[in-house]
Structure 1
Amino acid sequence: MNSLKVRQITRLARNFGTTTKNNFKVAVVGASGGIGQPLSLLLKRHELVSKLSIYDVMRTPGVFTDLSHIDTKASIEGFQCAENLPAALDEAQVVLLVGGVARQPGMKRDDLFNKNASVVEEVTTVVAAKCPKALFAIVTNPVNSCVPLAAEILKKKNVFDPKRLFGVTTLDLVRSRTFISEILKVAPSKVLMPVIGGHSGITIVPVLSQCKPPLKLDKEKTKKLVERIQHAGTEVVKAKDLDGGGSATLSMAHSAAVFTDALLKGLKGDCPPVKCSYVASDVTECAFFSTALKLGKNGVEKNLGLPKLNEDEEKLFCAAVEQLKKDIQKGVDYFKKKNKDDKKGKKC
């Protein structure tokens, strides 16, 4: 089905759904992928979403039609092909970027960034033009480098607002709560604990000393738990490799939906929620860092800063900071090089 046909379907879809004062338009970019489809399903069911806009470079008509049959109040729009991305994001209050290449077994994060940086660049440029006031949440990996890249693009367009750009790290918390609940034999919903830093490997710092209920493990078991949390993504990649390859999709979609729920509740203005997210920050030496945030009508209402760390967590924190500096610089360097190349191209 060509892009024109998708637009025709979209116009029909606009006749359905309801709009109330506290309902919002949410756009999912990469909606036909392994994360995008379950995420779109979860958002189609969300009570605060009045309009769901889905976009991808392929397979959008089928995903759109399938979602449009679901009997919830959110109306749905479907868009396909790059020329229709601006229409997909127009007037969105929340934009979720989940598109790009998934990590495969043996793939280094540098390789992943090189493949996904162009996706981040394209989408961020359209966000800057069509919905600069939207809360822009990036799920596309590697988050540690993609978010700084997006920030540089928004700065160039003179629309960067550090309160409105997020790297979604919720999956690290979701996994931590799951693993800890199994150890404590309690419901995951009962587990409260900050996970700070970034969103890969040693940049993920689970602050186990602040866990509620208290988690009492010896040094060796604590080390193993931290390592499992830090490398849980690889655990999924290896397991899925047995079935043809892939990375976390269902757990990531759930986590992105959890974070979107917090953003929407913040926009609504009732009891501003607190979530950890990777944002522009002056809490550490890193220009971007994930800590607990109070979310409100303009995005980040307040950065709650670093939690209390024990001696072992201080070491994890320092290691995370050093790696994050490199990851952040990678995003900045990509922007500088691309910007320089673009200028050279104009002179030719």
Structure 2
Amino acid sequence: MKRPKITIVGAGNVGATAAHICASKQLGDVVLIDIAEGVPQGKALDIFESSPVDRFDCRLVGSQSYDEAKGSDVVVVTAGIPRKPGMSRDDLIATNAKIMQSVMTEVKAKCPDSFLIIVSNPLDAMVYLAHKQSGFPKNRVMGMAGVLDTARYRSFIAAELDVSVLDVQAFVLGGHGDQMVPLPRYTTVGGIPLPSLLSAEKIEAIVDRTRKGGAEITKLLGTSAYYAPAASICEMVEAIVRDRKRILPAAALCEGEYGIEGIFVGVPVKLGGNGVEKVMEIELNDDEKAAFATSVDHVKSLCDGLG
């Protein structure tokens, strides 16, 4: 049986960690691409040499050339400059837009039937650009942010309540930035609504920390986070290559859902073997609608800035 082929563009911390996780979970053969001579080759070889210990059978290849990516089932794009302390995700837009255009030219030529998972920041604008540049149908283009933002939100709740993260169910709407919209009203712990377990003040503190979760790590590390982003990438890859039909938050193209037209933004979707198979619409109250609208407006402004 032929294994799925997963190409990861960008062999930095996020891309290389995602490659390791995808291989160790045996999601498919992995191609790691980067412009830095020797870096993707070395990291791919290093991951492969861990396979006897981690007990996985996957082929790993590193390259500067997209020829190795031919026939990929999934292409993950992490390429771009990372954040540094004091920078917002939006500060990266000009440089990363040029990189995204270059990557999409190669992907369109070498991997025309692939699913695209965009990770480069500012996320929502980059996935919008990737969709325009690739011409791929909307079900095959998505952004990884909601899974990461929700993972941070769930982690903070579990720590506050001293419970297993497995019992915390939640999701985050909106753009991947300070305007993201965690939804306490739809958050449960072992089936118990979060507002029944924590005060409004504690919930708001967790929501605020979630919004600033990336900046908190950047301040400590001096660069962007990579373990949680890489794990979040692999959850989406797994949903596609194993047709899991997962309900996950992702940056998807809305065409009328939530009253949004023509914008990629974080919403809950059904993610399976056909990519984004459905955008799941939920009822929002007035406060949630207002917060979501603010986030969507910010995403629109970034997309408009791309021209």
TM-score (norm: length of structure 1): 0.80
CA distance in 2, matches of 1:281, 1:88: 33
Q: Structure 2 vs 1, CA of residues 36 and 55 (structure 1 numbering), >3 Å: closer, same or farther?
A: same
Cα-to-partner distance string for 1:40-92 (whole Å, 9 max, x where unaligned):
1111112331x211111111221122122122211122212xxx12x132100
2:220 counterpart of 1:220: no
Cα-to-partner distance string for 1:122-153 (whole Å, 9 max, x where unaligned):
11111111112211001111102111111111
Query: Structure 1: which amino acid aligns with 2:279?
Result: N
CA distance in 2, matches of 1:183, 1:153: 43
Larger-gyration structure (1/2): 1
CA distance in 1, matches of 2:236, 2:273: 15
CA distance in 1, matches of 2:112, 2:252: 16
Query: Contact 2:90 / 2:121 at 8 angstroms: preserved in 1?
Result: no
CA distance in 2, matches of 1:180, 1:308: 23
CA distance in 2, matches of 1:79, 1:258: 24
- Percent identity of equivalent pairs: 31
Tell me which residue corresponds to 1:280: 253
Tell me which residue corresponds to 1:209: 185
Tell me which residue corresponds to 1:54: 32
CA distance in 1, matches of 2:296, 2:91: 21
Matches within 5 A, 1:19-98: 20-21=1-2, 23-31=3-11, 33-49=12-28, 51-58=29-36, 59-69=39-49, 70-71=51-52, 72-80=56-64, 84-85=65-66, 87-98=67-78
State the 1:165 CA deviation: 0.3
CA distance in 1, matches of 2:48, 2:186: 43
2:302 counterpart of 1:324: no
CA distance in 2, matches of 1:302, 1:115: 32
CA distance in 2, matches of 1:265, 1:173: 22
Q: Structure 2 vs 1, CA of residues 296 and 254 (structure 1 numbering), >3 Å: closer, same or farther?
A: closer
Q: Structure 2 vs 1, CA of residues 252 and 296 (structure 1 numbering), >3 Å: closer, same or farther?
A: closer
Tell me which residue corresponds to 1:309: 284
Query: Contact 1:95 / 1:134 at 8 angstroms: preserved in 2?
Result: yes
State the 1:229 CA deviation: 0.9
Tell me which residue corresponds to 1:299: 275
State the 1:117 CA deviation: 1.1
CA distance in 2, matches of 1:255, 1:288: 18
Q: How many correspondences in the alignment? A: 292
Query: Contact 1:277 / 1:292 at 8 angstroms: preserved in 2?
Result: yes
CA distance in 2, matches of 1:290, 1:173: 11
Q: Structure 2 vs 1, CA of residues 201 and 304 (structure 1 numbering), >3 Å: closer, same or farther?
A: same
Unaligned runs of 5+ in 2: none
Tell me which residue corresponds to 1:125: 105
Query: Contact 2:239 / 2:272 at 8 angstroms: preserved in 1?
Result: no
Query: Contact 1:64 / 1:76 at 8 angstroms: preserved in 2?
Result: yes
CA distance in 1, matches of 2:288, 2:209: 15
Query: Contact 1:113 / 1:141 at 8 angstroms: preserved in 2?
Result: yes
State the 1:199 CA deviation: 0.9
TM-score (norm: length of structure 2): 0.90
State the 1:114 CA deviation: 1.2
What secondary structure sits across from 1:280 in the alignment? strand
2:131 counterpart of 1:151: yes
State the 1:303 CA deviation: 1.3
CA distance in 2, matches of 1:308, 1:189: 25
State the 1:163 CA deviation: 0.2
2:256 counterpart of 1:256: no
Q: Structure 2 vs 1, CA of residues 227 and 130 (structure 1 numbering), >3 Å: closer, same or farther?
A: same
Query: Contact 2:117 / 2:144 at 8 angstroms: preserved in 1?
Result: yes
Query: Structure 2: which amino acid aligns with 1:73?
Result: D
Task: Detail structure 1 runs of 4+ shifted over 4 Å in the superposition.
Answer: none
Query: Structure 1: which amino acid aligns with 2:156?
Result: F
Q: What is the aligned-residue RMSD (CA, Å)?
A: 1.6
Point out which structure has higher relative CO (alpha carbons under 8 A, 6+ apart).
Answer: 2
CA distance in 1, matches of 2:45, 2:292: 46
Unaligned runs of 5+ in 1: 1-19, 334-348
Query: Contact 1:184 / 1:215 at 8 angstroms: preserved in 2?
Result: no
